[in-house]
Amino acid sequence: MKKKLAELKTRLAEINDLQMVASLLDWDQHTYMPQGGAQARGRQLATLAKITQERFIDPAVGRLLEDLRPYEESLSSDADDAGLLRVTRRDYELALKVPPKFLAEFHVHIADSYQIWTQARPANDFDRVRPCLEKTLDLSRRMAGFFPGYEHIADPLINFSDYGMKASAVRRLFAELRTRLVPIVRSITSQPAADDSCLRLHYPEAQQLKFAEEVVRRLGYDFNRGRIDKTHHPFMTKFSLGDVRITTRVKEDFLGEALFSTMHEAGHALYEQGIDRAFEASPLGDGASSGVHESQSRTWENLVGRSRGFWEYFYPRLQAAFPAQLKGVSLERFYRAVNKVERSLIRTDADEVTYNLHVMLRFDFELALLEGSLAVRDLPEAWRERFRQDFGIAPPDDRDGVLQDVHWFGGTIGGAFQGYTLGNILSAQFYDAALTAHPEIPEEMRQGRFGTLHGWLKENIYRHGRKFTMDELAQSATGAPLTIEPYIRYLGTKYGELYDLR
């Protein structure tokens, strides 16, 4: 049994190596690769994906999993090996269900579709992507079809990123959240907007990067096991548990960009850097789900990074870094600036309060498209209509409307967005539990100390990697299943103090 387990681990390590290698290719493509490298890079990534898939669905892997079943059953379910076998089996069964030929067709289509989108978006040309999107919808439905027995056609797709979640559960959760959010948004946006002009002065790139680096170092990001590079659309990636990198972008006329996007990606990275090193090169050495991952980026970006306590410590340092720009700007004014709520067109630029409305809109459209109750050709108009309804404004064009997000042009329709709001909800639930365990956290934060919070998150979430599902983590870390109450309480308290909430 020992020998078989070792053989399985060796095979999985090789597969993980190939996946990490693909991540490096992807990172390089989005940071340093010259234009001339693009064509070959696409082919190299396809080759890696093909070889990885071949090696994973090798019947020998299935036989090892079968042979190891008695061993797995002899273990407590929270043993590492039990987790490894459980998660590997889950991945293996998923992988077996999707025919390689279909997967290849899907990947080719997605590469084309992404290419076309990069041109159609700036040209505000929905018609150009429409046939692509129709094919993506068709392929997404066929993908779901490989997993018969679902309750909703979106369920298998949601399962890829948020294992164990169902459309019905997300719908219920989102409906409840929406009922509570819309009045808060209405109430805030009917009041005078906060003044964030202090963020919109000239802030030189090099100093912004330096400050952002100091911040995330202090939060606990380990530069011996990571680094920061510039890119167009910031992301976190890793090539091993010892090499977890973040990327950022800088706008010299907006201080909020690099600062918060670096904290956001550092949140993802703290999660990955906190995974038990024993899970290196194994399927357990990854985040539990897209929702849990997002909960950590949002914790460090928002719950920590947009809190008054955080800025009590960092604001004097920021002022010292940018004396000309921030001279005479009080902490209070700055705090209000970084928490400005407004009805905006772009999800990724949205504030904490309105953000989830952007996500829900997309989630609902994904379901409607998959169900067939909404046609791709009607999407732009439906977008404008729903936007008007939720935000009271409408996008002037498709570029900043339905074309704004890469997700549907670089993956399936379905499963792409729910994780963002699940993450927001979870972030408050985890944070609440951390505060209950360690009431000293806010005071420590005012002193620039984040170790207690970081330690609690590592102990209760990060170190487990993929061993437990989102539900299991919520239960074990907070003693309750996923609930929106802490999140609503958080928003209510924070924004109730900033605005007059009726």
Which residues carry out catalysis? 265
State the Cα–Cα distance between residues 271 and 220, nearest whole angstrom.
11
**Which region holds residue 98: left if phi is over 0, alpha if psi is between -120 and 50, else beta?**
beta
CB 300 within 8 A of CB 32: no
Given the complex with a second copy, which of 17 and 312 has the nearer CB atom? 17
Task: Determine the 3-state secondary structure of 143 from DSSP.
Answer: helix
Verify binding: residue 209, a second copy, rule CB under 8 A: no
Instruction: Using alpha carbons, list the distances in angstroms from residue 363 to 56, 58, 121, 356, 377.
Output: 31, 35, 20, 10, 17
State the Cα–Cα distance between residues 486 and 381, nearest whole angstrom.
35
CB 14 within 8 A of CB 55: yes
Q: Which of 4, 7, 9, 24 binds a second copy (CB under 8 A)?
A: 24
Verify binding: residue 414, a second copy, rule CB under 8 A: no
Lookup result for tokens 């090193």: 277
**Half-sphere exposure in the Cβ direction for 26 (13 Å, CA):** 20
Verify binding: residue 463, a second copy, rule CB under 8 A: no
DSSP letter for 222, please: -
State the DSSP string of 359-399. Answer: HHHHHHHHHHHHHTSS-GGGHHHHHHHHHHHHHS---SSST
Verify binding: residue 43, a second copy, rule CB under 8 A: yes
Tokens for 125? 């040309």
Stretch that binds a second copy, among 242-250, 308-316, 371-379, 432-440 (CB under 8 A): 242-250
Q: What are phi and psi of 500, to 5 degrees?
A: -90, 100
Given the complex with a second copy, which of 14 and 485 has the nearer CB atom? 14
Task: Determine the 3-state secondary structure of 239 from DSSP.
Answer: strand
Verify binding: residue 440, a second copy, rule CB under 8 A: no
Given the complex with a second copy, which of 240 and 348 has the nearer CB atom? 240
Verify binding: residue 32, a second copy, rule CB under 8 A: yes
Verify binding: residue 37, a second copy, rule CB under 8 A: yes
Tokens for 148? 């018969």
Please give the angle made by the CA atoms of 271, 274 and 280, to the nearest 5 degrees. 105
Verify binding: residue 269, a second copy, rule CB under 8 A: no
Given the complex with a second copy, which of 154 and 241 has the nearer CB atom? 241
Given the complex with a second copy, which of 42 and 309 has the nearer CB atom? 42
Given the complex with a second copy, which of 29 and 124 has the nearer CB atom? 29
Given the complex with a second copy, which of 244 and 367 has the nearer CB atom? 244
Stretch that binds a second copy, among 22-30, 115-123, 141-149, 263-271 (CB under 8 A): 22-30
Verify binding: residue 331, a second copy, rule CB under 8 A: no
Which residues, 6+ apart, have CB-to-CB distance to 250 below 8 Å?
A: 205, 208, 209, 230, 257, 258
User: Shortest Cβ distance from residue 236 to a second copy (Å)?
Assistant: 14
Verify binding: residue 97, a second copy, rule CB under 8 A: no
Verify binding: residue 36, a second copy, rule CB under 8 A: yes
Verify binding: residue 39, a second copy, rule CB under 8 A: yes
Residues of this chain, 127-186, that bind a second copy according to CB under 8 A: none
Verify binding: residue 239, a second copy, rule CB under 8 A: yes
State the Cα–Cα distance between residues 265 and 77, nearest whole angstrom.
32
Verify binding: residue 11, a second copy, rule CB under 8 A: no
Q: Which of 6, 60, 118, 223 binds a second copy (CB under 8 A)?
A: 223
Task: Tell me, letter by letter, the H, E, C secondary structure of 164-211.
Answer: CCCHHHHHHHHHHHHHHHHHHHHHHHCCCCCCCHHHCCCCCHHHHHHH
Tokens for 236? 């976190």
Verify binding: residue 6, a second copy, rule CB under 8 A: no
Please give the angle made by the CA atoms of 293, 296 and 299, to the nearest 5 degrees. 150
User: Shortest Cβ distance from residue 43 to a second copy (Å)?
Assistant: 6
User: Shortest Cβ distance from residue 106 to a second copy (Å)?
Assistant: 20
State the Cα–Cα distance between residues 185 and 501, nearest whole angstrom.
9
State the Cα–Cα distance between residues 379 and 402, nearest whole angstrom.
7
Tokens for 42? 């696409």
User: Shortest Cβ distance from residue 21 to a second copy (Å)?
Assistant: 6
User: Shortest Cβ distance from residue 261 to a second copy (Å)?
Assistant: 20
User: Shortest Cβ distance from residue 287 to a second copy (Å)?
Assistant: 18
Verify binding: residue 51, a second copy, rule CB under 8 A: yes
Q: Which of 87, 281, 441, 484 binds a second copy (CB under 8 A)?
A: 281
Verify binding: residue 18, a second copy, rule CB under 8 A: yes
Q: Which of 240, 319, 452, 475 binds a second copy (CB under 8 A)?
A: 240
Q: Which of 63, 172, 210, 227 binds a second copy (CB under 8 A)?
A: 227
- Total interface residues for a second copy by CB under 8 A: 40
Given the complex with a second copy, which of 55 and 130 has the nearer CB atom? 55
- Contacts with a second copy by CB under 8 A lie at 13-14, 17-18, 20-21, 24-25, 28, 32-41, 43-44, 47-48, 50-51, 222-227, 229, 239-243, 245, 280-281
